[in-house]
Structure 1
Amino acid sequence: MSAASGPVPEAPLPKRPYVIRDVTDPWAMRGLEGVQVDAWGYPDREVLPSSMFRISSVCGGVVLGAYAADAPEGGPQLPFGLAYGFPALVGGQLWHHSHLLAVHPDWRGSGLAVALKYAQRERVLAQGIQRMTWTFDPLIARNARLNLGKLGARAVSYHPDWYAMGDDPATAFPADRLMIEWDLSQPRAAHPPPAPDGEVVLAAVPEGEEPDAPRLNLNDPQVLAEVPRKAELMNEALRLGWRLALREVLGEYMGRGYVVTDVAADGERVYYVLTRDPQTA
């Protein structure tokens, strides 16, 4: 190999027609491991192995893969999307917990994530289950938009340090999560982000990127908490500042009965819409 040669960068995946299939073959399930690496850059120890997909598929779980519709017959079928979940007891009732939704970065914004969730919904309803839960990182605004604005679900609780994403809790970046509930029997139609409406309880400092001091003592029916549009592009210190600010604000208000019902937008600024549950007022 000459000094000038090296790995050839992969071309972006074309947005070809795709199909979503139930994955039941154990060999095909190995391809779902690679989707997780492509989507999140997971190290091997964080990847959910094909053995878990296999046992779940015969114990009531849903394992879905997205594949190119025009892939040649007989060749390897490499997935670029994944949805996976399993039955779970929530408050003494049978729900479905969706553990993974992964899409290759070149397919983000294509509508594939929504299609995977609705395919999962179809399978779960066929099992007689009408509610689904999952978690997502409240710092990732695009996922908030998918869950709240496109699927019409709602976030009902805040969970600090949901996962241990490192060996040392003193140095690992905190893996906080919002818990989503989705009523499968009455899905809300997708809608554009509304304009912000309500008192702002968290926002960036004027002319800056870091979060300002939270306002924790409001009791308005609806309040707004800003989230960075692209926190994943910030340096770690700035992301940590937003993580802790959102933990304080969302933890406080959701602990008092507010739920996150939508994502509002004003130009480049994005806000969680927290609505007080009348039953807890």
Structure 2
Amino acid sequence: MREAPASLPLRPYVIRDVTDPWAMRGLEGVQVDAWGYPDREVLPSSMFRISSVCGGVVLGAYPADAPSEGSSAAPALPFGLAFGFPALRDGQLWHHSHLLAVHPDWRGSGLAVALKYAQRERVLAQGITRMTWTFDPLIARNARLNLGKLGARAISYHPDWYALGDDPATAFPADRLMIEWDLSQPRAAHPPPAPDGEVVLAALPEGEEPDAPRLGLDSPQVLAEVPRKAELMNEPLRLGWRLALREVLGEYLGRGYVVTDLAADGEQVYYVLTRE
């Protein structure tokens, strides 16, 4: 059991394996709270149930005094979840983490990190030492979690990973970065480093729009700026950054670079791309 930081009006919590199909229904609500998903986008409890008996990991975060599964008391509502399943391709076995969701009131509390480490513990117990997942490269706070707090790295860029609309011509592109986490050698959390490297993408000096990407550099380390709070921008501006990051990250990751960290200089933040 862990305590939430004293600065937040949050209660002590516990992270549990969710195995009861009725308790899994509560995990549907966590997705709605975290992302405002419509019904058609919510992963249903039936998928959690099937995965839980086929090698998947289904975790929920609950108040510390919540009744245990199987109790006659009414089930407590979770406010966080982590979900993943074994993946196999070309003879390689790993764990793919499909969902990490935290109620907005719990963002910044450390719960997301605790859920990932609880998931790591379960996966290592299965004899698996590698975990992957995807995240939106426009969301800097998630980049900070994945790269700076967990010590994972982004290895590939995937345009239009999901179809989040009926018409591809009008839907906002759901591009994603693929994260890889070596579970056998986790890196300690660290503060954002200062930017170090040639800048291949940055905002225009006179505004918030991205400048033209620089795609031909061959430095050992380069920097690509990402808006600190792109989710607060209007859609045309967000789309401009989406396409600029798609061009830059797709180019450099395709040439053997990986995203190893998120650097910060005041209000400006940059992806750190290192050539391997």
Instruction: Work out whether the TM-score is over 0.5.
Output: yes
Return the offset for 1:165.
0.4
Distance 2:206 2:96 in 1: 41
| CA distance in structure 1 between the partners assigned to 2:99 and 2:65 by the alignment | 25
Q: CA deviation at 1:267?
A: 0.3
- For 1:253, the equivalent position in structure 2 comes to 252
How far apart are 1:84 and its partner, in Å? 0.1
1:55-88 per-position Cα deviation (integer Å, ceiling 9, x unaligned): 0000000000000103369932100000000000
Runs of at least 5 residues in structure 1 that lack an aligned partner in the other structure: 1-9, 277-281
CA distance in 1, matches of 2:100, 2:126: 20
CA deviation digits over 1:205-224, x for unaligned, max 9?
00310100000000000000
Q: Say if 1:120 and 1:200 are closer, same or farther in 2 by CA, change over 3 A.
A: same
2: CA distance between counterparts of 1:76 and 1:224? 47
- 1:134-181 CA distances to partner (integer Å, 9 max, x unpaired)? 000000000000000000000000000000000000000000000000
1:62–1:11 CA distance, 2 compared to 1 (3 A): closer
Cα distance in structure 1, aligned partners of 2:117 and 2:110: 11
Report the CA distance between 1:11 and its aligned residue: 17
1:14: Cα distance to partner? 3.3
Partners of 2:97 and 2:10 lie apart in 1 by 25
| 2:207 counterpart SS class | coil
Deviations along 1:194-236, one digit per CA (max 9) or x if unpaired, are 0000000000000310100000000000000000000000000
1-structure distance, mates of 2:168, 2:102: 29
- Counterpart position of 2:54: 59
Q: 1:91 to 1:203 in 2, by over 3 A?
A: farther
- Structure 2 runs not aligned, ≥5 long: none
- Report deviation, 1:241: 0.2
Per the alignment, residue 150 of structure 2 pairs with 151
Pairing 1:104-253 to 2, within 5 Å after superposition: 104-253=103-252
Shift of 1:15: 1.3
**In 2, Cα distance between equivalents of 1:201 and 1:130:** 33
Structure 1 residue 90 displacement after superposition: 4.0
Count of residues in Structure 1 that have an aligned counterpart in Structure 2: 267
CA distance in 2, matches of 1:207, 1:148: 29
Q: Secondary structure at the match of 2:186?
A: coil
Give percent identity, aligned residues only. 93
SS at match of 1:48: coil
Structure 1's consecutive aligned runs of 4 or more residues displaced over 6 angstroms after TM superposition are 10-13
Instruction: Describe the superposition over 1:15-51 as per-residue Cα deviations: whole angstroms up to 9, x where unpaired.
Output: 1100000000000000000000000000000000000
Give the SS at the match of 2:30.
helix
What is the distance in 2 between the residues matched to 1:207 and 1:116? Answer: 41
Structure 2 SS opposite 1:156: strand
SS of the aligned residue for 1:110 comes to coil
After superposition, the Cα gap between the structure-2 partners of 1:205 and 1:91, relative to the gap in structure 1 and judged at 3 Å, is farther
Q: 1:34 & 1:82 partners in 2: Cα distance? A: 10
Could you report, residue by residue, the CA deviation over 1:94-142 in whole angstroms, capped at 9, with x for unpaired residues? Answer: 1000000000000000000000000000000000000000000000000
* Shift, 1:53, TM fit: 0.1
SS for the counterpart of 2:181 is strand
CA distance in 2, matches of 1:221, 1:161: 28
CA distance in 1, matches of 2:56, 2:150: 21
* Alignment partners' CA distance in 2, 1:148 and 1:93: 24
Q: Offset at 1:92?
A: 2.2
- The whole-number CA distance in structure 2 between the counterparts of 1:114 and 1:143 is 11
| Aligned residues of 2:4 and 2:11 also touching (Cα < 8 A) | no
Q: Structure 1: how far apart are the matches of 2:111 and 2:258?
A: 27
CA distance in 2, matches of 1:108, 1:27: 26
Paired residues of 2:154 and 2:178 also in contact (CA < 8 A): yes
1:89, CA displacement in angstroms? 1.2
SS in 2 for 1:179: strand
